[in-house]
Structure 1
Amino acid sequence: MLQFDERTTKLLEEAYLGADFSRRRRASFDALRPRPGDIIADIGCGNGLLTLELSRTIGDAGKVLGIDPSEDMRDAAVKRCAQCSNVKILRGTATELPLERNSADKAVSLQVFEYLDDLAGAIAEVKRILKPGGRLVVGDMHWDTTAWFSDKPERMKLMLDTWDKHLVERCVPAVLPPILRDAGFRVDNVTAIPFNSTELHPDGLPNMMIHLMKPYVVSKGAVSEDDANDWAEEQVQLSNSGRFFFSITHFVITASKPG
């Protein structure tokens, strides 16, 4: 499990507000097509950034139901959305949603499904709570698309292979569409959102990954703390010398429950 100290938590908050993560949220927002009066389930709402953005567009007649199993994340979401009368933050998981059958117009989940060990169960639960004709949007990385330059490619491969262990399913965009169809959903679209960087920005996705990966791979015994620090420092030096390169593709999957 990933552990966040105060410094890392602050870095994550800055990254979530930065350009890379804002772009991911916007892609899910646009695919969801929120409308005034919609009832929307934000599954795995985390600290409530997307929840807040959705609340602004649905108006007082609508409702955003942010759902998360983490008490810390729910507390952060409650604080962020404290002034929003159309937001309710609930305890729950993707496979046990605290909502009634056919109660939501739409559901969205951003970088949550890759941590689930029962994708079919989660899709069945979403189908239960969506109204007929309801829309589901799932955004997740396809980790096979990662390209990250290093002058020490074997060490980079070890870092990435170890980092994979924090995931349950690293290829959600590939495996989820057939699961959706088997559950009776219509898959409307699978959209690729590429991210690539030639500089190491403080609020960017690769910088956040570096800060998360360092302690994780050390905790797994894959590399020593010195080696992890050397790996991170190499990336800084590559950026300073104009040789940094990072790329990964995020996918947004849009599906509809039969009417």
Structure 2
Amino acid sequence: MLQFDEETARVLEDAYRGADISRRRRASFDALAPQPGDRILDLGCGNGLLTEELARAVGPAGHVAGLDASPDMLTAARQRLQGRDNTTLTQNDAASLPFEPESFDKAVSVQVFEYITSRRPVLRALHKVLKPGSRLVIGDIHFDTFAWHSDNRARMQRFLEVWDNHLAERAVPARLPEELQDCGFAPEAMQPVTICDTSLRPDGMAAMMIRLIRAYAVQTEATDEDDAAAWAQEQEELAAEGRFFFSLTHFVCTARRQ
């Protein structure tokens, strides 16, 4: 698991609140269409940004339950949600949801399923806790859409392949429709949200991913610090020269529980 220093943690927090990830989060929010009084499950709630936004939308008559496997993420979420009585946070595995059957009106999961090797057990668990006709929204990146310019294409490809190793599935949006149908859901829509940057913005997804990939490559001993630093430095230089290009597409899948 990646270990973050204070500077990397700050970059991540800026990115989570930045335009790229906020737009992606908003697309899931809009697809879910939270209403006053809704009971919503936020599966893989992370640091609680979406949980907080949903809690505001459902109001005091509603409730948002955030679930995550990471104690560090839940600590951040608890700090963010302090004082919001219409939220609860639970540390648990996604495939064994500790909730009563048919206890949620809606459920959402953002960039979680790409880390799950066996997705059908998780979808069946979601089917169990959702009411009939409930809406499920799942947002994940299709990594075949990744385009990242470099003058050293071989090195860039090597770093992207290293990053692939931290994923369970790089093409979740392509797999989901069949998996959802197998688990009692009716897929309704697949909305693309494309991030395309020609500048290296401090709060952008590209800046965040440079930090993450560089750290991951070194910590997994896929390369050394000098090689990783040179890879990251080239992106800074390309940005300074006006030659930076970064693009990938996140997909928001909406389905109904049958």
Partner Cα separation in structure 2 for residue 24 and residue 122 of structure 1:
22
3-state SS of paired residue (1:93): coil
Partner Cα separation in structure 1 for residue 49 and residue 134 of structure 2:
22
3-state SS of paired residue (2:165): helix
Residue in structure 1 matched with residue 138 of structure 2 by the alignment: 138
Q: Does 1:125 align with 2:112?
A: no
The amino acid across from 2:184 in the alignment is G
Aligned positions of 1:1-259 closer than 5 A: 1-258=1-258
How far apart are residue 223 of structure 1 and its match?
2.3
Consecutive unaligned residues in structure 2, runs of 5 or more:
none
Consecutive unaligned residues in structure 1, runs of 5 or more:
none
Partner Cα separation in structure 1 for residue 19 and residue 134 of structure 2:
30
Partner Cα separation in structure 2 for residue 250 and residue 29 of structure 1:
14
Residue range with higher mean Cα deviation, 216-225 or 11-20:
216-225
Partner Cα separation in structure 2 for residue 3 and residue 145 of structure 1:
27
TM-score (norm 2): 0.98
How far apart are residue 84 of structure 1 and its match?
1.0
User: Deviation digits for residues 198-249 of structure 1, max 9, x if unmatched?
Assistant: 0000000010000011121122333221111011010001001100000000
3-state SS of paired residue (2:247): strand
Contact 1:114 1:167 in 2 (8 A): yes
How far apart are residue 183 of structure 1 and its match?
1.3
Count of aligned pairs: 258
The amino acid across from 2:67 in the alignment is I
Partner Cα separation in structure 1 for residue 101 and residue 184 of structure 2:
16
Question: What is the RMSD of the two structures over their aligned residues, measured on CA atoms?
Answer: 0.8
Partner Cα separation in structure 2 for residue 5 and residue 138 of structure 1:
30
Partner Cα separation in structure 2 for residue 34 and residue 251 of structure 1:
19
